[in-house]
């Protein structure tokens, strides 16, 4: 990802104009490294399209410095990944300033496992609502959602100017009442959404029925639906909906892995010859991953964060499900 950027032994980029995709994920910079990175980000010759800083142990104050530098040089930036960093409320506030900037045309924002608070989510969704026309992918996975934050997220999803294509809410501790509001919001603005990941939430059979409202919508063109480890036992409603609507004209991937589904015969019949790939894998790494995140059945929703989970589990299990790919 640093090809042809003129990187010297001192780590300085002598020719930043060639660099379009900067991926420094998994590196721990420290203050001096963040200082150099801020210098690079503020360089008028540097026109990055993608910046990925996933799992870099970026602190709240370092996040503020980095985003302040980014705000000086936003015109080409399309993809920003700050996943697995503890951004804190001040970091999120700085990010909101970036999102509201007149030069911001970000189309992919990844904030997986950032310890996003309810206040942070409210601020984030409000900022996106003020500049809604560009974003196409939003990843908030592994951040527990609270009621007022969900209400603001629903307001964003309902905005007809918000044309989101990929929404990842894997492992967000979504409650049934929240799911109902989220699906209602998506039903009010369904024509652009192509990928929806609700894996790792207790969707259960009741939630599947709620979700079917979206699939029943005449303007729904969902291509990928991930419901991995959602405590689902009955997919009769889902099979009926797919059989009776146009949903299968568009749906290409359906992930129902790690659910104790009792009878799949009808669903198999409906999907036969449709071109939709059904995934029913039993991934032990995913189960172990979420067990570590939650600390067993006794833990509260606030424990669902990536802290105290080793990097191998994050890479092999968290990424495979919360980004919607197979192990």
Domain residue spans in the chain? 16-322
Token pair of 283 as six digits:
């991934």
* Predicted local confidence at residue 46, as pLDDT: 86
pTM of the model: 0.84
Q: Which one-letter DSSP state was computed for residue 7?
A: B
What is the distance of C-alpha 191 from the center of its chain? 19
The answer to whether residues 252 and 277 touch, using CB atoms and an 8 Å cutoff, is: yes
Residue 129 CB contacts under 8 Å (≥ 6 apart), including other chains: 152, 155, 156, 159, 162
In terms of DSSP bridges, do strands 166-168 and 253-255 run parallel, antiparallel, or are they unpaired?
unpaired
Helical H segments across 74-203, by residue range: 88-100, 118-130, 147-158, 176-187
For residue 278, the number of C-alpha atoms closer than 13 Å in the C-beta half-sphere is: 19
**pLDDT block averages, 10 residues each, the chain of length 327:** 37 65 90 90 88 94 94 92 93 95 95 94 95 96 94 96 97 97 97 97 98 97 98 97 96 97 95 94 55 45 35 44 48
Rounded to an integer, what distance in angstroms lies between the CA atom of residue 150 and that of residue 187? 15
* Predicted local confidence at residue 38, as pLDDT: 92
* Predicted local confidence at residue 14, as pLDDT: 58
Q: Can you name the CATH fold of 16-322?
A: 3.80.10
Rounded to an integer, what distance in angstroms lies between the CA atom of residue 186 and that of residue 209? 15
DSSP reduced 3-state for 159: coil
């Amino acid at each position: 990802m640093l090809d042809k950027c003129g990187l010297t032994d001192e780590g300085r980029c002598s020719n930043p104009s060639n660099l379009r995709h900067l991926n420094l994920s998994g590196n721990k910079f420290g203050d001096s490294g963040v200082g150099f990175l801020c210098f690079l980000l503020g360089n008028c010759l540097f026109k990055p399209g993608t910046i990925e800083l996933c799992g870099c142990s970026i602190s709240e104050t370092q996040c503020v410095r980095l985003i302040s530098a980014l705000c000086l040089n936003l015109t080409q930036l399309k993809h920003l990944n700050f996943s697995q960093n503890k951004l804190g409320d001040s970091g999120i506030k700085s990010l909101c300033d970036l999102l509201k900037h007149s030069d911001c045309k970000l189309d992919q924002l990844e904030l997986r496992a950032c310890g996003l608070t309810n206040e942070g989510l409210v601020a984030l969704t409000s900022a996106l609502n003020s500049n809604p026309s560009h974003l196409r992918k939003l990843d908030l996975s592994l951040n527990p959602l609270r009621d007022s934050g969900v209400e603001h997220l629903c307001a964003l999803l309902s905005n007809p100017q918000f044309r989101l294509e990929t929404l990842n809410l894997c492992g967000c501790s979504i409650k049934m009442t929240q799911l109902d509001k989220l699906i209602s919001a998506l039903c009010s603005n369904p024509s652009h959404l192509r990928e929806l990941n609700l894996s790792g939430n207790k969707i259960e059979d009741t939630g599947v029925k709620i979700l079917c409202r979206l699939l029943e919508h005449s303007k729904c063109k969902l291509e990928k639906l991930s419901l991995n480890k959602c405590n689902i036992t009955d997919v009769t409603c889902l099979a009926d909906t797919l059989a009776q609507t146009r949903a299968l004209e568009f749906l290409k991937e359906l992930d129902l892995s790690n659910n104790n589904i009792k009878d799949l015969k009808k669903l198999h019949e409906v999907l036969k010859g449709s071109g939709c790939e059904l995934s029913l894998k039993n991934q032990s790494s995913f189960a172990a991953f979420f067990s570590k995140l939650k600390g067993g059945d006794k833990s509260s929703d606030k424990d669902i964060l990536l802290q105290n989970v080793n990097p191998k589990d994050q890479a092999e299990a968290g990424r495979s499900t919360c980004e919607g790919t197979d192990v």
